[in-house]
């Protein structure tokens, strides 16, 4: 990632003068621009799709980590038992609907 950013580093001054072109290129390519001020990294310009994809990836990683922690802590249920509960709930729901129709 650092290698990509080195090739796509621009100053705030350059961004101010070429904002439309740079934003369009970031959107087209899906690659970020590192924005610098006085040679120091200050911000990252990233197209919206890539940003939203990154958020979704992070959310999925958190869910996986939570699931793995639950497994490690023994917070699991047997699949067959869960399926039996679902079938029972569906049967009860179906019976109630039929009773209301009669």
What CATH number is attached to the domain comprising 25?
3.40.1620.10
Q: How far apart are CA 10 and CA 91, in angstroms?
A: 63
Average pLDDT over residues 35-42: 95
96 shares its domain with 55: yes
Q: What is the pLDDT of residue 6?
A: 65
Q: Is the pLDDT of residue 48 over 80?
A: yes
Task: Categorise residue 15: left if φ over 0, alpha if ψ from -120 to 50, beta otherwise.
Answer: alpha
Structural domain range at position 94: 50-101
Q: What is the pLDDT of residue 5?
A: 62
Average pLDDT over residues 69-81: 94
29 shares its domain with 7: yes
Nearest to 46 by CA among 25, 61, 63: 25
35 shares its domain with 61: no
In angstroms, how far apart are the furthest CA atoms of the chain? 79
Is the separation of the CB atoms in 45 and 22 below 8 Å?
yes
Is the separation of the CB atoms in 12 and 42 below 8 Å?
yes
40 shares its domain with 58: no
Confidence category of residue 67, pLDDT binned at 50, 70, 90: very high
9 shares its domain with 29: yes
Q: What is the pLDDT of residue 71?
A: 94
Nearest to 45 by CA among 58, 29, 26: 26
Q: Is the pLDDT of residue 3 over 80?
A: no
Q: Is the pLDDT of residue 4 over 70?
A: no
41 shares its domain with 28: yes
Q: What is the pLDDT of residue 9?
A: 94
10 shares its domain with 24: yes
Query: Coil, helix or strand for 69?
Result: helix
Report the number of distinct structural domains present in the chain.
Answer: 2
35 shares its domain with 55: no
């Amino acid at each position: 990632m650092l290698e990509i950013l080195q090739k796509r580093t621009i100053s705030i001054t350059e961004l101010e003068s070429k904002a439309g072109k740079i934003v369009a290129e970031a959107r087209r390519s899906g690659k970020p621009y590192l924005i610098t001020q006085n040679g120091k990294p200050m911000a990252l310009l990233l197209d919206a799709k890539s940003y939203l994809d990154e958020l979704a990836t992070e959310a999925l990683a958190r869910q996986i980590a939570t699931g793995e922690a639950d497994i490690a802590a023994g917070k699991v249920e047997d699949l067959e038992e869960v399926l039996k509960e679902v079938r029972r709930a569906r049967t009860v729901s179906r019976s109630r609907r039929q009773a209301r129709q009669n």
